[in-house]
Amino acid sequence: MSREEMTLERQLDWLYGIQRFGVRPGLERIEALLARLGHPERRFRSVLVGGTNGKGSVAASLASVLQAAGHSTGLFTSPHLTHFAERFRIDGEPVAGSELLTALEEVRPHAEAVEATFFEVVTALGCLLFARAGVNWAVMEVGLGGRLDATNTLSPELSVITNVGLDHTEILGDTLDAIAGEKAGILRPGRPAVTGVAPSLWPVLEQKGADLWALGRDFVFEVESLKLTGTALRLHWLQHDLPALTLRTPLLGAHGASNAALAAAAALRLGVGSEAVQRGLIATRWPGRLEYLEARGQGWLLDGAHNPDGAQALADTLGTLGLRPVRLVFGASADKAVTEMVQILGPVASDVVLTQARWSPRAADQAQLRPAWEAQGVPVREAASPAEALALAAAGTKQAAPIVVCGSLYLIGEVRGLLLEEGAEARERWQ
């Protein structure tokens, strides 16, 4: 390891260490931090993408489209799968370690002075890295909620809210209206916005005064074909004089098509031409979300479905692909709605191997997960680690259908590194 790499590791040790202070919603610290850094967030145009599920897929798709249109584009997402630098992509590539180190060394003293949280530091890093790279656009995935999320200190040209489900209820509220209200905080009066939320929640979003286009009212889509290699869809406009578009995306399933449609609508509202939309969508890369891989002589489908809505989307896609029942490798965070997820996934499973992400202190152990699966009548085996779970799932006769790994993005990150023999960071992951 070089001296620069060792220095970067020490800086990351500090950054990961402040995860223990948890999430503290509010904009005061991030505003102070960005001011100390000279307001890098004002040196590029931005889009905020929030929602319960699919926001990363929409953000990655939109960034790819903007890049296809000739714009230098930053993409900010969380969490990462295997390496921290994945959170900051410029024109599709993670930032270099040297650039990350320089930014961390500049941000750290200011972050310590304002007592910034982990995600606030990460947001500031993204803004600084994108400003220094001279990007034209930055597509920023919102972390938690919207109104009080660190990304909301930016002034977006356009905002996207993918959908609203019951997740993080202890912070965002225990009703869909309350959660939608928090997520609607990223909307700006008079500025364009795109959403895929249920019609019952449109009034909550419309209270913010944004120029809102809603899936199901302003535009609709239909899935034309679905394969393990991707989805083809047709996008139609109901309220606007725009031509219908045939689009292809590597995102799988009806929810993948929905996310592609939202990204396409957002791009068109930003003035991107239809040809760039088509080229950008097909070029989208979003690992670990219904991603099909072949490794160890076996097909694998990796999906970070980590809540009931995500589990339902996974189950629906498996049904559409004709892959039910499948062998599952499952691990989840203890603070998630595990029972509800298992009730949805149980009917699609032939059997399940339970494990837990090694580097996530939030991970439920196998004994916590087992009763929910047994209640569904699914044969259960346990593995002490993701590596053991992969070996156990693949042992014996090759599965005709892909083995599905799901339940936690932290688990997906570890598994993906193992299957591709790329390794992963050996650090505790809370966020």
The predicted pLDDT at position 169 comes to 62
Decide if 427 is inside a domain: no
In terms of domains, do 264 and 304 share one? no
Among candidate residues 282, 300, 325, the one where a domain is terminated: 282
Among candidate residues 267, 282, 297, the one where a domain is terminated: 282
The predicted pLDDT at position 51 comes to 95
The predicted pLDDT at position 181 comes to 92
In terms of domains, do 328 and 265 share one? no
The predicted pLDDT at position 47 comes to 98
pLDDT averaged over the chain?
93
Decide if 428 is inside a domain: no
The predicted pLDDT at position 25 comes to 82
In terms of domains, do 270 and 295 share one? no
Question: What are phi and psi for residue 386, nearest 5 degrees?
Answer: -60, -40
In terms of domains, do 154 and 170 share one? yes
CATH assignment of the domain containing 374 = 3.90.190.20
Local structure of residue 333 (DSSP, 8 states): B
The predicted pLDDT at position 284 comes to 97
Give the C-alpha separation, 230 to 240, whole Å.
28
The predicted pLDDT at position 305 comes to 84
Residues of the chain with pLDDT under 70: 167, 169-170, 397, 430-431
End-to-end, the C-alpha distance of the chain in Å comes to 26
In terms of domains, do 134 and 81 share one? yes
Give the C-alpha separation, 303 to 314, whole Å.
8
* Contacts with 81 (C-beta within 8 Å, 6 or more apart), sequence order: 287, 288, 409, 412, 413, 416, 417, 424
The predicted pLDDT at position 168 comes to 73
In terms of domains, do 204 and 123 share one? yes
In terms of domains, do 19 and 164 share one? yes
Domain tally for the chain?
2
The predicted pLDDT at position 22 comes to 76
In terms of domains, do 234 and 195 share one? yes
Give the C-alpha separation, 40 to 23, whole Å.
23
Q: What domain range includes position 411?
A: 289-419
Beta strands per DSSP E along 238-364: 245-249, 289-295, 298-303, 326-330, 349-354
In terms of domains, do 244 and 336 share one? no
Among candidate residues 263, 282, 301, the one where a domain is terminated: 282
Decide if 131 is inside a domain: yes
CATH assignment of the domain containing 191 = 3.40.1190.10
